[in-house]
Structure 1
């Protein structure tokens, strides 16, 4: 990608520190001290009218005294001063400002007004704002540390975070590891000006960053974030930890889709769809990022395990399976070559157990690793056990051989294009106490972990990264043209001031959009119901109330099923109307819909769309029918979806096996189902007036689909009534 317009700000050649201080406890002192200690090569301008110099650097009384434009200002003054400070920055041509102070939008209405005033001053003068309410930023490759962290190791992992404490945790973990280097950190803060997605675009063009970590609590504009994620993730992996996994869904939603669209369930699905590698535990964030920064992604999920004990071999195999990874079947030639290198007790059927064959000669590990990686069925290698500690466990005489083996193994990921991750019993020792072989494993560019589960999670991340790259080959469809029938329906809804699209209108709209739906006829009295029954010519039929006031028809007694004769049609019509009038005060009844009953068999599914406040329109797919909210076996994607997205949704529900037929039954028509889902995506993309859509149940058969119920709810803003009535809510 082209360099971001934020480069001058986030990789600055000149910095003004507004509120520079002699007090070592204050940020205006610590930041200046760190810039000097770390050897920042750019110009530094401390601003303090009461001091002539701080830390040996001449102070300026105000921003107006700057000799010229400055790339970045670090604002260390209280919130009440910030508006005037930003106005001075604008007057002097300062390109960007890091505003540390809190007390803005996060503090309530008064703070929001202050934030708006700050933003107005910034935009009037072209100043970009990091924050406010941010812990700051650093750029290790520029020696620009405006946070005050010590012992930062220069590296290739970028960091975005909405939490200063999470940042401190990750930086501390990186320091404790001793081998994980960071490139640039950006504290998101209130995101008043520079948005999350703009920071991602910066990292996409940053030559010093090849992996990004993002700690996300909430997104102001999830749609923009997803688009930026799609731009960066094909080239640079993005590891995201999304907090708030236990938040409840929106109970006020009027559809199954809305009721089931809990915040985290949606976030996880759409972030993964856009290319994110999701971390679910805080202690796996940095290991995953390290592996992705050092190693090639997996071409498949087929791995080999090389262990020096049966216990570790078995535990490793279990951990791989639990993470959806597979043991590669080894070729006869691979097994023959391993047998020639190892003692008779060794197991050469994956997982490979060297059975003491390396105790006196660690170089055998390198030989076996090479043999395994040469097997075309093996796309990655997990080493588990004592490796990296043979000189400690057995004899210092093995030190040289273990280091030589490590150097050979360290070159193999690049040589074969296949990743290697090491699980070692000695991996947990502190860097200054580790035996030299473990240090050499790290230095060779091979991730080492004392936790076998963490090592396997890293392999899973490498597999996900490879799969993401292949999935992006299938681009989302182009936005479809608006359908004429639905345009007419919208006009009618506006005239009548209703958000509810009646079912016969929704069905007609879907058919006009190219979707094959079973016929349905609207009857306004029992005589028309009889005529509809005769015209359909199929038995039995279903009868359903059509009313703007009734979304859940069954609960109101507005549904009759398996009606097979004229007399039952007449009585069914009258009973449905009576039930509805008893359940709802003065309902607006458009009529009763008569439609053929769905054929027996098939699988009941649901396809729905809900408009998420952050991510925009979201499609839901899963098991449908009356138990949909009880079973909650559903998955989500952001619109528009591609055909590949649709197929992955089919495979992600827990009950996916039922789609392939159970107890000898035929599988459903997956192609028809995927095409149907893409068409619904096209419809909702074409009509942003659609707020919620439910098609439930959809009966999926081996030779097609049948939609039994259609519900469409429009956005309140799209239903403009007369000036007296305003907008229906």
Structure 2
């Protein structure tokens, strides 16, 4: 759809109709409200909202004591064009709890106003409305908001001043006149993300830290799902208040039953729903009436079961969010919190209490994850299964884990990622203080479980891995590796470097360990030390102490084969006791043992000084390598987000808007359009002139200046290495004519050669910079050295904007062909700073304009002293809504 336009200026290109502004938003207290454009049929709701307001609130909004809104004003308030006059309402249970609006008063400027229900003050509704109105305003060409505020209206002033914008205000005729630019600033972005974090973390606390729980569907039948969950809650010793709901039973498992949740007669934090799918919507309405805060829907029969179930799941989510509730599931195995002895899952036993937070998606894998943690003797703090992930996702759990003092590391099994951009930024915040280990089971559409709402993606697996690397996440291949790494990071200090000591009682095992270290880039700086098979526990302890005291050692790997004489339990206990006194990590390879060894017994879950045990050296080395990389990321300077003062966004907007007005579905840009768009972002493109005859080639050469080249930009020829469809270093008219004739004679049979004349660039290394707008990931920026590294070897690096300067540097330096840029075989290194500058500018352009569907700079000539962009191809398209936009909204 082409841009919407008002009488006061151009609209943001490609904006959809106002229904796309609808959103469910988590409020400050963790509850949910619905935002939507105001409608003419809201007249009665607006009047009812007004009637509930206090006299003070009415005066602060209208500057007058208005008891009832007139019919004329109701029409003016509810009938808006949603272009020059925009109005949103926030609702709960279809009641309006907040109204926000702006009216354009001059080109680029609009007057903004809010009215928040007295009963919902303090929940951040005004901030949410401002955030959404500002984003909509930018889409429709508004640059500045103004407002008149009474001096006593401190709450409204606080909404403006706390939003992070550069607010200017002055006192004029008894009111405070407020003015601010609505384009996001670094501070306003930080404020928005901080509010999102607090709200989403608060909403998950009602799920995993409930003071009271009700099991809806707590059947007397032992085989029923509700009976199983209630039994597990009782066996676990849940410390809160427990209720049960059954339509006829008086009690189940000794817990008195109520016919409905609302019949309980007191507030309930969490409802675990285990009734047939057809009855769930009625339960949601009952829970809403009773003031329940969150739902765990264990019932199946939703999106995983087919189209009818998908519609049922959509209705479930709409009902829940309309009533302010969050939903885990449906089709979930539940949630658990060892600190509260809360086992609201189908698993009969939980792992022991500990510091590892766990998240899984599908039920079967959730049970497997819990079972694996228990077998490994790993202690768990909180566990949650998302089921169909209709609402609560891994992103929400990470928001909670950031602040949870009982969780020191996080393990996640992801079968799908619905919002990777948001995942990346939240994971980065979490990983800054707590290790995050992720299993991602697949990359194709076939790996997405039935019922998971996921947009299609075209990015390669490497882009997902790059996103994990950017975020500091330890990505592993399977559940076994997840717990191998978790056993290390929850029981030992992080390594300070890659230097390793190896101590064992078998030469062969030490050699295997050393080879595994070298394969992963770890440095063996001590040993391998091989004691005699019959060595005593004290001898083993002495060798370990020697390794730990070596200043050239950052971590110790022990390798032990149980002999016939010495009991292996004494060795394990010795290793754990020695490790307890060190600030360096110690890992043990004890053949046949896997888990965490206790320093006192060699068995069971360890506490201070416990040592992770692995059955083979490769397992231990993989875990150590992951910890080393994570520790290095955590200590490294993360860089500053790239930004450029010389960018002309208005000029870029004009180019893109002009194209999409002419071709609403999008098209490829001409060379001149691509030149103008990139020039607006500080990326100059060398002029190339399309020619159709020798005379045109000569004329073009005179324009661009000798020496010149003639080359084909045909898609057939440019991607066919070795054909040589170009002629270089042409110094005069005669050489130009001869070169043109040669190319036509040699390649003319292949069709349109698309020959262009361009000035000759100096010697350098040809590179490729790309950006792609992906439906799932949003913008993805890629870099490679042109030619065989790109086309044959797939040597391409990827990053997800927004980039830091470190991201831009790593995008260039992590390709395997990087030595070609850094002085390979005595060549002078290229100007890496200039190359990274182009990469950064492309990333900002891609991040700013989702309409840039595909961009390719090829070739980009990197040389000592600068870079030359010799070719640019850009395709624009009508954008979809990004999964992580500049306004808070739940993506379920």
For the superposition of Structure 1 and Structure 2, which TM-score range results when normalised by the shorter chain?
0.7 to 0.9
Q: Any idea what the Cα deviations from partners look like across 1:209-264, whole Å, max 9, x if unmatched?
A: 11111111222222111121122110111111111146799xxxxxxxxx996442
- When residues 301 and 430 of structure 1 are mapped into structure 2, their CA distance, relative to the original with a 3 A threshold, is closer
CA distance in 2, matches of 1:175, 1:233: 24
Task: Map 1:169-184; keep pairs closer than 5 Å.
Answer: 169-177=368-376, 179-184=377-382
Structure 2 residue corresponding to 1:444, chosen from 609, 612, 616: 609
Structure 2 residue corresponding to 1:595, chosen from 741, 749, 758: 758
Shift of 1:567: 5.1
Shift of 1:76: 0.5
Q: Check if 1:648 corresponds to 2:816.
A: no
What TM-score do you get using the length of structure 2 for normalisation? 0.69
Judge which range, 292-301 or 702-711, deviates more.
702-711
Judge which range, 440-449 or 299-308, deviates more.
440-449
Partner of 1:492 in structure 2?
658
Q: Check if 1:167 corresponds to 2:366.
A: yes
Q: Any idea what the Cα deviations from partners look like across 1:114-170, whole Å, max 9, x if unmatched?
A: 222212211221111101122222222211112232332111111111222222222
CA contact (8 A) 2:215 2:272 kept: yes
What SS class does the counterpart of residue 383 from structure 1 fall into? strand
- When residues 281 and 654 of structure 1 are mapped into structure 2, their CA distance, relative to the original with a 3 A threshold, is farther
Task: Map 1:334-373; keep pairs closer than 5 Å.
Answer: 350-356=526-532, 359-373=534-548
CA contact (8 A) 1:694 1:710 kept: yes
- When residues 492 and 582 of structure 1 are mapped into structure 2, their CA distance, relative to the original with a 3 A threshold, is farther
Q: Any idea what the Cα deviations from partners look like across 1:460-509, whole Å, max 9, x if unmatched?
A: 12112112213453233248744454334224323432521223332343
Partner of 1:274 in structure 2?
471
Structure 1 residue corresponding to 2:579, chosen from 410, 413, 418: 410
CA contact (8 A) 2:855 2:875 kept: yes
CA contact (8 A) 2:595 2:613 kept: no
Structure 2 residue corresponding to 1:533, chosen from 701, 715, 725: 701
Shift of 1:558: 13
Shift of 1:182: 1.4
Partner of 1:156 in structure 2?
355
Partner of 1:708 in structure 2?
870
CA distance in 2, matches of 1:198, 1:241: 17
Q: Any idea what the Cα deviations from partners look like across 1:484-535, whole Å, max 9, x if unmatched?
A: 5433422432343252122333234334422354444566986554333123
- When residues 650 and 627 of structure 1 are mapped into structure 2, their CA distance, relative to the original with a 3 A threshold, is closer
Shift of 1:422: 1.0
Structure 2 residue corresponding to 1:380, chosen from 555, 564, 577: 555
Task: Map 1:62-211; keep pairs closer than 5 Å.
Answer: 62-152=260-350, 153-177=352-376, 179-211=377-409
Partner of 1:625 in structure 2?
787
- When residues 214 and 479 of structure 1 are mapped into structure 2, their CA distance, relative to the original with a 3 A threshold, is farther
CA distance in 1, matches of 2:651, 2:737: 30
CA contact (8 A) 1:621 1:635 kept: yes
What SS class does the counterpart of residue 705 from structure 1 fall into? strand
| Paired residue total | 667
- When residues 190 and 580 of structure 1 are mapped into structure 2, their CA distance, relative to the original with a 3 A threshold, is farther
Q: Any idea what the Cα deviations from partners look like across 1:245-301, whole Å, max 9, x if unmatched?
A: 46799xxxxxxxxx9964422211112211210002332111111211222222221
Q: Any idea what the Cα deviations from partners look like across 1:303-332, whole Å, max 9, x if unmatched?
A: 22122232222111110111121123xxxx
Partner of 2:7 in structure 1?
none
Q: Check if 1:238 corresponds to 2:436.
A: yes
CA distance in 2, matches of 1:429, 1:455: 11
CA contact (8 A) 1:608 1:620 kept: yes
Structure 1 residue corresponding to 2:844, chosen from 682, 687, 694: 682
Q: Check if 1:425 corresponds to 2:591.
A: yes
What SS class does the counterpart of residue 59 from structure 1 fall into? strand
Q: Check if 1:213 corresponds to 2:408.
A: no
CA contact (8 A) 1:48 1:59 kept: yes
What SS class does the counterpart of residue 620 from structure 2 fall into? helix
- When residues 638 and 555 of structure 1 are mapped into structure 2, their CA distance, relative to the original with a 3 A threshold, is closer
Structure 1 residue corresponding to 2:678, chosen from 485, 510, 523: 510
What TM-score do you get using the length of structure 1 for normalisation? 0.83
CA distance in 1, matches of 2:375, 2:312: 40
CA contact (8 A) 1:499 1:716 kept: no
Partner of 1:256 in structure 2?
none
What SS class does the counterpart of residue 826 from structure 2 fall into? coil
Partner of 1:337 in structure 2?
none
Partner of 2:733 in structure 1?
566
Partner of 1:727 in structure 2?
none
- When residues 248 and 652 of structure 1 are mapped into structure 2, their CA distance, relative to the original with a 3 A threshold, is farther
Structure 2 residue corresponding to 1:54, chosen from 252, 265, 270: 252
Partner of 1:470 in structure 2?
635
Judge which range, 614-623 or 511-520, deviates more.
511-520
Give the CA RMSD over aligned residues: 3.5
CA distance in 1, matches of 2:747, 2:268: 71
CA contact (8 A) 1:427 1:438 kept: no
CA distance in 2, matches of 1:80, 1:438: 48
CA distance in 2, matches of 1:399, 1:19: 48
Q: Check if 1:693 corresponds to 2:855.
A: yes
CA contact (8 A) 1:247 1:262 kept: no
Partner of 1:324 in structure 2?
521
- When residues 230 and 494 of structure 1 are mapped into structure 2, their CA distance, relative to the original with a 3 A threshold, is same
What SS class does the counterpart of residue 461 from structure 2 fall into? helix
Flag structure 2 segments of 5+ consecutive residues without an equivalent.
1-196, 448-455, 881-892
- When residues 667 and 311 of structure 1 are mapped into structure 2, their CA distance, relative to the original with a 3 A threshold, is farther
Flag structure 1 segments of 5+ consecutive residues without an equivalent.
250-258, 329-349, 719-729
CA distance in 1, matches of 2:758, 2:733: 14
CA distance in 1, matches of 2:211, 2:227: 19
CA distance in 2, matches of 1:261, 1:657: 29
Structure 2 residue corresponding to 1:542, chosen from 694, 702, 710: 710
Q: Check if 1:394 corresponds to 2:565.
A: yes
Partner of 1:289 in structure 2?
486
Shift of 1:578: 12
- When residues 435 and 379 of structure 1 are mapped into structure 2, their CA distance, relative to the original with a 3 A threshold, is closer
CA distance in 1, matches of 2:817, 2:719: 27
- When residues 408 and 186 of structure 1 are mapped into structure 2, their CA distance, relative to the original with a 3 A threshold, is closer
